[in-house]
Structure 1
């Protein structure tokens, strides 16, 4: 007779109000396909979180999983959120402080790129974005870094550093790029930040015969090459 700390299996089953057959089926059961996928998802998420120094939030993690293709199944944003919340995983970064004053977006264009990131020729599509960096040892300072990538080769064409994110700073970044590529007329893909929605910037692109494509709000994977570039940049 099997015993556990002086108690027989039959006695324990009666106390728990379960049958012996049910108990033995429970201890011999195999994990379901769903559970195997959840275990695999958690393992890969944990590895990526450590690799990127806990800087990946829900959206960035979903984008990174899709980019690396390490899962044997497809995991969407909702599934990633549930897994990370269940295991207490979250990005160790400060949230952006948004200006609560409602701003007027003068130009809002659709996503013309449609995640077609593989390009055979240079200057077909440029993607761009800006991010905040903090520097200094005793006294911390903040700055905005603006970068433009060519999807052909995924390399940086130019950069600019400014105190804040402004239309002027974005235009200056493009001016530097057109000095290197004066005959280029690429599609330009951005998010819907205020500088990219400004009339100044859109008039500038029109003057350069460039089409402007925009990611949808809350869809960072629509500009995933730029997101991956920032991830690598911040690890340096």
Structure 2
């Protein structure tokens, strides 16, 4: 077991040293060429090794003594290095770290490396590579929550069904071409249940409409669709849904005839057929809902309004060149 631990430590040291050499432009190639066996290290080499000691001690909790011994540097030299005045490059790194921490906290701890990179470029004009951002976030323990997959379901017998026109061809070439809708549940107070119905446009991932209700009934879905169609007149989107009872009801068929939109439905038990809206539920719940407590239905309504405003206007989307859904939609309509 001791031998296995020593091997693991050596691997961690080598991996971290190589990361620093790749990502830190301040370290010259000359430092990497100095053999490990040599006792007389260059200043750059010592800085690399002391940085490895610091990071592995902070992140992996390896003892300072063990790390210094493995890297053949003195403990006294390491502690002296810790107390020294920060270099210009470290001051720059410290400034970056402060801005990264600010952006991460303003996102309510939801931004990962790519969205932090977008925010740095948009807000400050900084072009920082993802590896450097990842190292800083990891060092500061800025870890976004990984959302869990939603379990699959099986639909009940339907009244009015439709073909799966979308058939997982999710890509849209213009706004209001492909909309996806669904109902999800939320809790508030003493485990009281509420329901949220929403429509998302696949082109720019905009939330076209949403309604929150204490009841999961036909009216919840009808209100959602009417709100979306009335705010986007003269559009004839394909609206894709699962085979839930609201979407297979007579009322929904009448709504289809009234607004002349096209209906597409997932295959029974295939939640991935409705992936765009399923993905949004996952984002909403992991980034906001599960991180907050709502004592009343009003608090839940206000909270969802706050998050959707943030999602539409402040949540940068890397594949849209760092634009928000609202910004991307505005240049397309």
TM bracket (short chain): 0.5 to 0.7
Aligned to 2:263: 212
Normalising by structure 2, report the TM-score: 0.41
Superposition pairs of residues 67-146 of structure 1, within 5 angstroms = 105-136=158-189, 139-146=190-197
In structure 1, C-alpha distance between the alignment counterparts of 2:151 and 2:227, rounded to whole Å:
34
SS at match of 2:247: helix
Aligned to 1:193: 244
Deviation, 1:217, is 1.4
Q: Residues 157-192 of structure 1, C-alpha deviation per residue, up to 9 Å, x if partnerless?
A: 110011222111111111111221011111110000
2:272 pairs, out of 216, 221, 228, with: 221
In structure 2, C-alpha distance between the alignment counterparts of 1:105 and 1:216, rounded to whole Å:
12
Aligned to 1:162: 213
- How many residues of Structure 1 are paired with residues of Structure 2 in the alignment? 143
**Residue 177 (1) aligns with residue 235 (2):** no
In structure 1, C-alpha distance between the alignment counterparts of 2:262 and 2:245, rounded to whole Å:
18
Deviation, 1:56, is 2.1
Q: Residues 106-154 of structure 1, C-alpha deviation per residue, up to 9 Å, x if partnerless?
A: 2011100111111111111111000010022xx2321000000111101
In structure 2, C-alpha distance between the alignment counterparts of 1:177 and 1:108, rounded to whole Å:
21
RMSD over aligned Cα atoms:
2.1
| Runs of 4+ that moved beyond 4 A | none
2:146 pairs, out of 48, 51, 55, with: 51
In structure 1, C-alpha distance between the alignment counterparts of 2:185 and 2:151, rounded to whole Å:
19
Q: Which moved more, 1:195-204 or 1:104-113?
A: 104-113
In structure 2, C-alpha distance between the alignment counterparts of 1:216 and 1:165, rounded to whole Å:
22
Larger relative helix fraction: 2
Larger relative strand fraction: 1
SS at match of 2:246: helix
Deviation, 1:156, is 0.4
Which ranges of structure 1 fall in alignment gaps of 5 or more residues? 1-49, 60-94
In structure 2, C-alpha distance between the alignment counterparts of 1:206 and 1:58, rounded to whole Å:
33
